Amino acid sequence: MNEKILKGIKLTNYKFINKPLVVGGLALEHYNIRETTHDYDYMVSPSDWIELKKIHPDKINLFGGKNEKDVDATINLKENPIDLISTLFQFNYNSLVKNSIDFPEYKIISIANLLLTKTLGAVYNKDPKSINDQKLIVDKIVELQYN
């Protein structure tokens, strides 16, 4: 698992100011909830976001909004399936890094914050994958509580 996360970080060709926060499928795989799909999702700190926007101004995805305050923002590195995320439902790195698991080169989102992000996607967007992930995360939390 560690190798997969580090591979994605290396593919960004960027030296992070703050450790990226692993979210999405890589985080689910870390918690042995399910395997990741095709991409790497990393939430980046506000200071990294400023620098990354300078490097990749043509790869910013505002999800149909006019600016970063309207909607969430990511940088999609399509040549390598990497999403560098500024916000998820306007929750940024500083909000979601709380209680994360710290590794030398990255952090993993806490299982509670992972559930939050998937619940927002499940409820607000009615995203089938997020709905399924939400159930899998709850099952894992219950398993951990009773073991």
pLDDT tens digit sequence for 64-77: 666 677 667 888 88
- Compute CA 144 distance to the chain's CA centroid, rounded to the nearest angstrom: 22
Averaged pLDDT, 16-38: 94
Taking the C-alpha atoms of residue 42 and residue 27, their distance in angstroms, rounded to an integer, is: 10
What is the reported pLDDT for 126? 87
Residue 63, pLDDT > 80, answer: no
**Confidence band, pLDDT 50/70/90 cuts, at residue 33:** very high
